[in-house]
Every structure is written in C-alpha cells, then in structure tokens.
Amino acid sequence: MTATELRKNLFQNLDHALQGQVLLIEYKGRQLEISPPAGNSKLSLAVSRDAIVGDADSLIRSEWDESHWKESDRV
C-alpha cells in the first residue's frame, strides 16, 4: 500500500498490525514494514505477589468508624 492509503485508514491499519498482519508501505521508492513487536508484553513479565496478609474477606466485613481516630493520625 502507499503512504496515502495508509493515512486514509491509519487506525484500522494499525489495528491489523496489532493483530499480527504485517503492513508493507511504499514511500519514496522504498518499502517500509509495520508489524507488532516480537516477544511478550511488559505486563506478561509482572510477578504475582500476595499483597494481603490474612483473610481478605475480613477487609470487606470491617467497619470504618472514624470516631476512634486521633486528630494527629489524620494527614
């Protein structure tokens, strides 16, 4: 496709590239390629961590009564 054709449907073409389709663009007599990056996403490298110590359901059932807080505790 030409650069003009790419520009006409830019976001649709980028969606195709994200789905794995390689786009070849002719520009000033040369050919360019748009393709999704190889490998995994950064999010796939995230490590799952246990953030709550104890029973998570107890957080849902807890009551938040602010009357017992000291004024100095409030920031």
Per-residue pLDDT, averaged over 25-43, amounts to: 84
**Model pTM score:** 0.46
- Whether 32 has a pLDDT exceeding 90, the answer reads yes
> Quick one: tokens of 9?
């449907």
Sign of CA dihedral 42, 45, 50, 56: positive
Torsion angle of the four alpha carbons 38, 32, 21, 44, in this order, in degrees rounded to the nearest 10: 20
More confident residue, 56 or 62: 56
- Whether 74 has a pLDDT exceeding 60, the answer reads no
Per-residue pLDDT, averaged over 17-38, amounts to: 89
Per-residue pLDDT, averaged over 4-24, amounts to: 91
With cut-offs at 50, 70 and 90, classify the pLDDT of residue 18: confident
